[in-house]
Amino acid sequence: MREADCADFQKTVSEFLVRNRSILDVMTKLQDAATRVNRALAKTVTSCGCLRVEASKQELPEDVSFSHVADYVKSHIEGGLCQNCADVIETELGNALFYLAAICCLLDLDFKSVLERENDRIRTLGVYSLT
């Protein structure tokens, strides 16, 4: 995402934070948005069927090096999103991003800086950043 895109997005979010300026409202709406993303993902399996979840224990060879673990780990997702499910999930993810940016606005944080800092942290720590 370009710098202007992040700044524009955060500015737009700030302009539309009229009724939801309470940090408590935004916190709970972010949690609700994350729940709606999870529900939309579940519906791809349970209602639409465009995705299937085939989950089992992740089996790794005993001699695999840590740098090659990703070659053996699976996402458990079978199939692909249909256009309708992709649209719903994109909408729900967009709502979650709105409330993340809203928290940045209310706390006077720069959304772009938060993204860059997390990107740098992940690049520096690699897989160790996700534990």
Q: Render pLDDT for 52-80 as a digit per residue (tens, 0 to 9).
A: 999 888 888 888 887 787 788 888 899 99
- Spatial CA neighbour of 30 closest among 20, 18, 45: 20
Counting DSSP H helices and E strands in the chain, the numbers are 4, 2
| Angle at 37 (CA atoms; ends 2, 28), nearest 5 degrees | 90
The CATH number of whichever domain residue 83 belongs to comes to 1.10.287
- Whole-model pTM? 0.83
Tens digits of per-residue pLDDT, 69-111? Answer: 778 888 889 999 999 999 999 999 999 999 999 999 999 999 9
Query: What is the identity of the amino acid at 72?
Result: Y
* Total structural domains within the chain: 1
Range of 110's domain?
A: 3-130
